[in-house]
Structure 1
Amino acid sequence: MPVTIMIVDDDADDRILFCEAVRQVDDSILCLQAEGSVTALDLLKSKKKPDFIFLDLNMPGINGRQFMRQLKTMPSVSNIPVIIYTTSTLSSDERELKHLGADAFFTKPSKLVELKYNIESVLTGKWEQIKFRPDPYDSESLRFKV
């Protein structure tokens, strides 16, 4: 059964870029897009649950923090790994979200190769490598290229 990733982000361009990066990492992965927390919470009530949730922190309405609090009270989805995918670079945000139950935290990268690297790190269970910024010309650091 193919892996399913949900991206929760109010910015349509960021969602499209994210799903394109997922497709380039592995085109068998299903990328669900939720334009905000309310949509994501509705999708999570369906039978097909994502294997991973990538969550923007700063969204209007229910923000990433509030979403995390609600998600962790829902037994059927509270165990889905959540990766915070945000513009924030504050270590205080990272500490707070990990305290709320996030499994990983990374700042939205400026290059597609970095985003693909972080997605692959999550998919392969190499969580400790997420913050690493690979050299796109180093063939040893990545199995994929832009």
Structure 2
Amino acid sequence: MNFPKKVLLIDDDEDEYDIFTAALNGCCKGVELIYEKNARSALVQMANDEADTVAEMVFLDWHMPQISGKDVLTSIRKLPCYTQVPIVIFTGLLDPFYLKEAKELGATFLMEKPFDLADLGQKLEYLFSLDWKQIKHTGQQI
């Protein structure tokens, strides 16, 4: 499989980082996980990224305090280094309204937060098995 080398998780829940780390270690060894709990600091970091420091895929919680996932997604898509990077909306509730909105704003994939580690590992393996670097349409649900 063609795993990304580096992924960024933007999620205010630190438990999600722990679960994500465990899932990656179980299914997708070698993928570096960068974690940002705060959306503002994530955007600052991303704005300063250069070609060799850009994450190959971003997982973004849609429901975050202070800045909504919608606003973060819009801001990410304006960053030159991130216009083509796949963005996965990672949310506890795949509400049809939010799904439509995320798709229109350029989310590449939509993934409901799984309730167990094995499910997340399977979803990550499936996602990474796709030709994720060449996705032309947005909003594919995983």
**TM-score bracket relative to the smaller structure:** 0.7 to 0.9
1:37 aligns with: 39
What TM-score, normalized by structure 1, do the two folds share?
0.81
Greater relative contact order (Cα < 8 A, sep 6+): 2
Deviation at 1:2, TM superposition (A): 6.4
Question: Separation in 1 of the partners of 2:67 and 2:131?
Answer: 30
Question: Separation in 2 of the partners of 1:24 and 1:43?
Answer: 28
Q: Amino acid of the residue matched to residue 28 of structure 1?
A: G
Q: Amino acid of the residue matched to residue 92 of structure 2?
A: T
Q: Residue 57 in 1 paired to residue 59 in 2?
A: no
1:79 aligns with: 84
Percent identity, please.
25
1:15 aligns with: 17
Partner residue of 1:25 out of 21, 24, 27: 27
1:144 aligns with: none
Q: Rg bigger for which structure?
A: 1
Deviation at 1:39, TM superposition (A): 2.0
1:46 aligns with: 49
1:143 aligns with: none
Aligned residue pairs: how many?
130
Q: Deviations over 1:84-123 (max 9, x none)?
A: 1111231111111011000111211111111111111221
Deviation at 1:36, TM superposition (A): 2.2
2:5 aligns with: 3
Distance 1:82 1:129, change over 3 A: closer
Deviation at 1:75, TM superposition (A): 1.4
Deviation at 1:69, TM superposition (A): 0.7
User: Whose helix fraction is larger, Structure 1's or Structure 2's?
Assistant: 2
Q: Amino acid of the residue matched to residue 54 of structure 2?
A: K
**Contact 1:8/1:40 (<8 A) preserved:** yes
